[in-house]
Structure 1
Amino acid sequence: MEIFKQNRCIALLVGVILVCFSAISLLSPGRINEGQNTLKMEKFGGSGHASAAALLPQTAVTPERVKGTVKPMLYTTAAKIPGHVWNGKQTVDWFTPAKLKLKAAAGTQPAKPKTVVVKVSPEAQQALKQAAAKGSQSVNKVKTASQQHPPTKLFFSRTKLLSQEQQAQATWSYAVSEEDLLLLQKIVMAEAEGEPYQGKVAVANVVLNRLRSANFPDTIHEVVYQKSQFSPVANGRLKRVKPNEDSIKAVNAALSGVKEVTDDTYFFLSLKLAQDLTVHHSRTYAKTIGNHTFYK
């Protein structure tokens, strides 16, 4: 103190220095802190300081020490990568005619056909029903007429009896006489009198199948009277019977093309009454109708 009293100039100089230092510290505390931090970091010195400085660009987050506390930085190294810097610009994808065509083609779906509903009045519906009924009646009349008046000429191919509409495919034809028609009715009556209607048609089918086949005679008379083929011929029943209505209808149906057995069926017998079962053991089974079994 005595030094200050003796040297007032020195005391005044020290006071000015203190005031300046206080003013500087109040105006820029950050710089002092940075200086303190710099001084503290310089204490590491040497190669350690250089190695730490080399690692700084690769660090994801760099902490900043301020007066003994850790303060995280507000940026990362990812933000410094040039390829990931957002420049605040938005790109616009312009539509070209080619892109519009592609999108239109992708969005286009096949048009569904519209269902057209046609309303028919009750009178028109009734007229259609009557026309359909008349058509079915006309068909039934044609069938009935053909069965009441069977064709007088048959058409055959090598494998089957043809209808009248298929005569262009025929390989040969056969004219049916009145005697043939009566004989066919009688053999059906004699063989299948107690059988169902389908069984009577099947017997007529067998006779016509034999007429067509090259392995049997070429006329209805010769087919019926072939030796050891039909038992009513051998026992005389064929001459005694008189065809009933079902037998006549069955023959007419068979001549008109109705088939209860296939065109390759040539034999039938009653397993209950037959004494000779050679056909049963040597031929292929086809069908059973009533008491008759049919074979190919």
Structure 2
Amino acid sequence: MNLIRQNRWVALLIGVILVCFSAICLLLQIEEKQAIGKLYKQVGINGTEIHSFKPLLMYTIEDERPFHVLGNNQQLVTKQQEVASTSVKSIDSKKVVTEKVEQINKSTEVNSRLNPPKALFFTRTQMLSQNEKEHSTWQYTVSDKELLLLRKIVMAEAEGEPYQGKVAVANVVLNRLRSANFPKTIHKVIYQKYQFSPVANGRLDRVKPSDDTIHAVNEALNGHKAVSDDTYYFLSLKLADDLTVHNTRTFSKTIGNHSFYK
């Protein structure tokens, strides 16, 4: 103390040093707060803003860099995350339900096409599906005997042919039923002279329709078309003895071993 009293300039120097030290400590505290402030980030979840002082490590969705959230708001964050998770699950659930409904609708549509209708619907130029019946100009009631007869002629004519070939043979019979140039019943169309060889050689009476044939006929009756509505003839160029149709009619397409003509 005597030294300080005797040397006032030394006391002044010590005071300056203490002031500088205090200023440096203050600056360090400010810089630390600014650095911490950069780590803190305002968070918005479903419109709720969360401010932070006690850090809780989280990640941003956009860049996956860590930031801190107020520890006291942890319950709010958890609740918001549960709500968000529930929303996502709800959306996924609705999507699954929608997909199942679509699958059921498609399955129902396919199954309906595999069931034979009781009535067929026509216009002057085409056969209509069951959903288009309001546009028909006339309709035809299919008896159980005619349904079996149609399946047997398709089986007899196209047993070794691909599925679409079976549908096409059924289409030809139904196209003739619609046309004014052919008989007006399925029975008469099939038994018309010199038209279907299995009728003449007796094969028609011997065959038993396979499941594949039954489905193909049912689909044709429900409006599925493997050939166009103006297709009235078919033959196998490998097996046919009479090629009059091939030489006189307009070729449409080939399915399996059968060539179809308008």
| Fold equivalence (TM over 0.5) | yes
Amino acid at match of 2:186: I
CA deviations over 1:56-101 (Å, ceiling 9, x no partner): xxxxxxxxxxxxxxxxxxxxxxxxxxxxxxxxxxxxxxxxxxxxxx
Query: What is the CA distance between 1:243 and its match in structure 2?
Result: 0.3
Deviates more, 1:209-218 or 1:157-166: 157-166
2:247 counterpart of 1:277: no
AA aligned to 1:281 is N
Partner of 2:88: 122
Match status 1:201 vs 2:180: no
Q: What is the aligned partner in structure 1 of residue 256 from structure 2?
A: 290
CA–CA distance in structure 1, aligned partners of residues 149 and 100 of structure 2: 36
Q: Which residue of 1 aligns with 2:209?
A: 243
Query: Matches of 1:130 and 1:290 in 2, distance apart?
Result: 40
SS in 2 for 1:194: coil
Supply the distance in 1 between the matched residues of 2:225 and 2:92 (Cα, whole angstroms). Answer: 36
Q: Give the 5 Å matches for 1:148-227.
A: 148-227=114-193
Instruction: Pick the aligned partner of 1:142 from 108, 114, 130.
Output: 108
Give the number of the structure whose alpha-carbon radius of gyration is greater. 1
Mapped to 1, the partners of 2:147 and 2:117 lie a distance apart of 10
Unaligned runs of 5+ in 1: 1-118
Supply the distance in 2 between the matched residues of 1:275 and 1:200 (Cα, whole angstroms): 22
Superposition TM-score, scaled by structure 2 size: 0.65
Give the counterpart letter for 2:249 in structure 1.
Answer: R
Counterpart amino acid of 1:153? Answer: A
SS at match of 1:181: helix
Q: CA deviation at 1:124?
A: 3.6
Q: Tell me the matched-pair count.
A: 178
- In the TM superposition, what are the counterparts of 1:15-34 in structure 2 within 5 Å? none
Q: Alignment partner of 2:253: what SS? A: strand
For the aligned residue pairs, the C-alpha RMSD in angstroms reads 1.6
Say which SS state the counterpart of residue 280 (structure 1) adopts.
helix
Q: Which amino acid aligns with 1:184?
A: L
Secondary structure (helix, strand or coil) at the match of 1:287 reads: strand
Q: For 1:191 and 1:253, how far apart are their aligned partners in 2?
A: 17
Equivalent residue letter for 1:142: T
Q: Hey, what does 1:263 align to over in structure 2?
A: 229
> Is the contact made by 1:146 and 1:252 (CA closer than 8 Å) also made in structure 2?
no
Q: TM-score, normalised by structure 1?
A: 0.58
- The residue aligned with 1:233 is 199
Give the counterpart letter for 1:290 in structure 2: G
CA distance in 2, matches of 1:129, 1:188: 43
Q: Percent identity?
A: 64
Separation in 2, partners of 1:125, 1:285: 53
SS of 1:276's equivalent?
A: coil
User: What are the equivalent positions in structure 2 for 1:46-65 lying under 5 Å apart?
Assistant: none
Extract structure 1 runs of 4+ deviating beyond 6 A: none
Q: Which residue of 1 is the match for residue 9 of structure 2? A: none
Distance (whole Å) between structure 1 residues aligned to residue 94 and residue 226 of structure 2:
34
Which residue type is aligned with residue 96 of structure 2?
Q
Instruction: State the distance in 2 between where 1:268 and 1:182 align.
Output: 21
Unaligned runs of 5+ in 2: 1-83
Distance in 2 between the 1:243 and 1:150 partners? 14
